[in-house]
Amino acid sequence: MSLSPLLDRLAIGWFGLIGLVVGSFLNVVIYRLPRGYLLSLPRRSVCANCKKQIRGYENIPIISYLFLGGRCGGCQISIGVRHPFVEALTAVLFVAIYLHFGFSVLTVYYAFFAAALIAVTFIDLDFRIIPDRISILGMVLGLIGAMIHPALSASSHVLGLLFGGGVFWLFSFLYLKWTGRDGLGFGDVKLLAMIGAFLGLQGAIGTLLASSVIGSIVGLSLMFIQKKDLKMAIPFGPFLAIGALIMLFWGDSFVLRFYSGE
């Protein structure tokens, strides 16, 4: 659906704002989910250092961070720049998804996908885990969307899920068998299955290729710079997320147009 230029600009601003708010929520998810805290309780976030309740006006995405000078209003401890970064990143991705998919259900569908990828990336960087609650919920949402939306092929998305889960499980199994080391976690297996559920078979294959290439370049560069074996030190989830976003924005000629017969 195409909007008039004015409505289009309003929609861009609106998706940007929604992205900031969702990004703020993702910061809470990234902090609480791997620590096993409930997302809804306590209602108000508290400072991790001094336990001071964060007031409403201190919780406005990006603006509060700038206003408070990147410090807690209670104990003055520095709040990581990552908080506003996650908010800005989510806003940028939401706007990019809107510009790519237009005013459509697909935009909402892929906004969910992008939000899940952001949460997974930062949780994996911090804790080397990918919570099932995100990947399995993502698989379910990805498949439901693919079944409902006429532009998406449900069978391709089922195959994407099976390919993502299956091929990675096989890699993981063979790697363990040959090296005796647990190289790829099952979190990665479920993440690629989730990506396949959202992007379909071609998307899952493309994601695997793109993330392997980027992961190898980054991994080898780090090994070269730091002169040590970093194979175990770099989580693979963020590379899968980057690969998935590349496929989302640039792989659509294979993923979407192919199936909608354009």
Binding residues (CB under 5 A) for Zn ion: these are 47, 49-50, 72, 74-75
- Given a contact cutoff of 8 angstroms between Cβ atoms, the answer to whether 99 and 3 are in contact is no
- Least distance (Å) between residue 34 CB and Zn ion: 21
- For the bound state, the minimum distance from the C-beta of residue 58 to Zn ion, rounded and expressed in Å, comes to 10
Q: Which residue type, as a one-letter code, is found at position 155?
A: S
Tell me whether residue 10 or residue 75 sits nearer to Zn ion (CB atom).
75
For the bound state, the minimum distance from the C-beta of residue 63 to Zn ion, rounded and expressed in Å, comes to 19
Taking alpha carbons only, the member of 97, 211, 206, 196 closest to residue 142 is 196
| Nearest approach, Cβ of residue 44 and Zn ion (Å) | 13
Q: Which is nearer to Zn ion, 3 or 50 (CB)?
A: 50
Nearest to Zn ion of 75, 81 (CB atom): 75
Please state, in angstroms and as integers, the Cα–Cα distance from residue 120 to each residue in 64, 81, 88, 252, following that order: 25, 18, 16, 23
Tell me how far, at minimum, the Cβ of 87 lies from Zn ion, in Å: 19
Using the minimum distance from each CB to Zn ion, give the nearer residue, 53 or 172: 53
Q: In this complex, which beta carbon is closest to Zn ion, that of residue 76 or of residue 155?
A: 76
If the CB atoms of residues 75 and 140 are measured against Zn ion, the closer one turns out to be 75
DSSP string, the chain: ----HHHHHHHHHHHHHHHHHHHHHHHHHHHHTTTT--SSSSSS-B-TTT-PBPPGGG-STTHHHHHTTTB-TTT-PBPPTHHHHHHHHHHHHHHHHHHHH-SSHHHHHHHHHHHHHHHHHHHHHHHS---HHHHHHHHHHHHHHHHH-TTS-HHHHHHHHHHHHHHHHHHHHHHHHHHSS--S-HHHHHHHHHHHHHHHHHHHHHHHHHHHHHHHHHHHHHHHHHTS--TTTS-SHHHHHHHHHHHHHHSHHHHTHHHHT-
CB of 68 to Zn ion, least distance (A): 10
Task: Considering the complex, state which of residue 72 and residue 143 has its C-beta at the smaller distance from Zn ion.
Answer: 72
CB of 118 to Zn ion, least distance (A): 25
